[in-house]
Amino acid sequence: MKIGKALWCSSVGVGIFTLFYSLIMTSFGLWMGAAAFITASYFFGVGCPEDKVWNIVGSFVMGITWALISFWLLQNDMIAQLWPSAIMFGFMTFLAIFLQGTIMKFTMVPAWLIAWGSTMVIISNVTVTKWPLFVIQLFISMLMGIFFIAYGSNYATKLVYKIFPDKKPKDAK
């Protein structure tokens, strides 16, 4: 089996930048490393669109905001029940899509929902005592997924292609 240069470059680039991210994450107490992997995966999945990166970042901000609102609402015993919480989540999802289609066209619903869900998973499983610090750490982790893991591995791939360009056949002129 022949393994192409693109696969090698992607694998090595993502592996190296994930290794470095893990070291940075641990050193600075960014314990929400999964958020970075989720956002990097999303960014890779949509083809690393550099022209949409700020739309994606804005969508992540909205997703975190949506999670904080829904978590706050769920602290009310009335809303935390099955039907009220289902209605709340349905309405908030409707509202996210409606806002994206009207006054917040810069956002991207899949990124918004990924950030919302990721944040909800985290805050549903840990006790948060310092909310401002938590939100900052989470947002930095999400940004690191895009700007460090994804961009870093893409830069590494470009560098390898520059250092080792594809060979042209001898017959081509």
How many domains would you assign to the chain? 1
Among 18-22, 81-85, 166-170, name the most confident range. 81-85
* 172 lies in some domain: no
Give the structural domain span for 136.
5-163
pLDDT tens profile 86-134: 999 999 999 999 999 999 999 999 999 999 999 999 999 999 999 999 9
pLDDT tens profile 133-148: 999 999 999 999 999 9
Map the chain to HEC letters: CCCCHHHHHHHHHHHHHHHHHHHHHHHCCCCCHHHHHHHHHHHHHCCCCHHHHHHHHHHHHHHHHHHHHHHHHHCCCCCCCHHHHHHHHHHHHHHHHHHHHCCCCCCCHHHHHHHHHHHHHHHHHCCCCCHHHHHHHHHHHHHHHHHHHHHHHHHHHHHHHHHCCCCCCCCCC
* 118 lies in some domain: yes
Lowest mean pLDDT segment, chosen from 44-48, 53-57, 89-93, 152-156: 152-156
pLDDT of residue 54 exceeding 60, the answer is yes
